[in-house]
Amino acid sequence: MFSKIKACLFDLDGVLVDTAKYHYAAWKRLAESLGVPFTEHDNEQLKGVSRVDSLAYILNKGNIQSNQTQRQQWMDIKNEWYLELVSGMQQNELLPNVVSFLAELKTHGIRIGLGSSSKNAQLILDKTGIVNYFDTIVDGRHTTNSKPHPEVFVKGAQQLQCSPAETVVFEDAISGIEAAIAGGFYAIGLGDARTLEKAHFVIPSLENFSYQQLVDLPIFR
């Protein structure tokens, strides 16, 4: 099913950077302004989920009725608060080994893409100084379906001119793993193997992962 690796697609939050704390702070601030308690457990449910669906989760939890105009206003407010937080990001906020791993992939001619639900991916890549490693960026501005729909990865592979069988997806969220598998990609989970049990292979993070370990995976030999 899988062939020689020609491309890698990366999720953003939890894989390359840790902006989850900023999303959590912004969603919590919005939820509590609406009188809805918002915990770290709630935040976990929003991992890899679009802005629209994240707001829907909060409104459902609070049994809040709203119209489209109100929902858009709330999403805009949340995004303003989030952007205030991420606008000061620097390269030292990248997760360990990210720059080295991306550089190693480039050296070996692997095409690199981003597949994220975030609409602020470009800003974050710019702020952390890694945007030039990416051959394509597909994020929430370019998709109509959120994960676990495979659209974001399918579009990424198309733009990289690679088939799913030639492309590895790196994801830290269950919905992202499901999206990758639904699209026919090889899915590497970053995090807890029990949580990400649907992934083809799981590593704790990119910190101790190398190109050689990637190509040495049994399925690609």
Distance CA 141, CA 118 (A): 8
Out of 11, 42, 139, 172, pick the active-site residue.
11
**18 labelled catalytic:** no
Out of 13, 42, 139, 172, pick the active-site residue.
13
**11 labelled catalytic:** yes
Distance CA 200, CA 104 (A): 22
Distance CA 192, CA 202 (A): 7
Q: Where are the beta strands (DSSP E) in the chain?
A: 7-10, 111-115, 136-138, 167-171, 186-190, 201-203
Residue partners of 78: CB distance under 8 A and separation at least 6:
26, 27, 29, 30, 51, 55
Distance CA 102, CA 70 (A): 41
Which DSSP symbol is given to 166?
A: G
Q: Among 44, 30, 113, 39, which Cα is nearest to 76's?
A: 30
Distance CA 123, CA 78 (A): 16
Q: What is the dihedral of CA 134, 2, 145, 171, to 10 degrees?
A: -60
> Could you tell me how far CA 69 lies from the centroid of its own chain?
27
Active site members:
11, 13
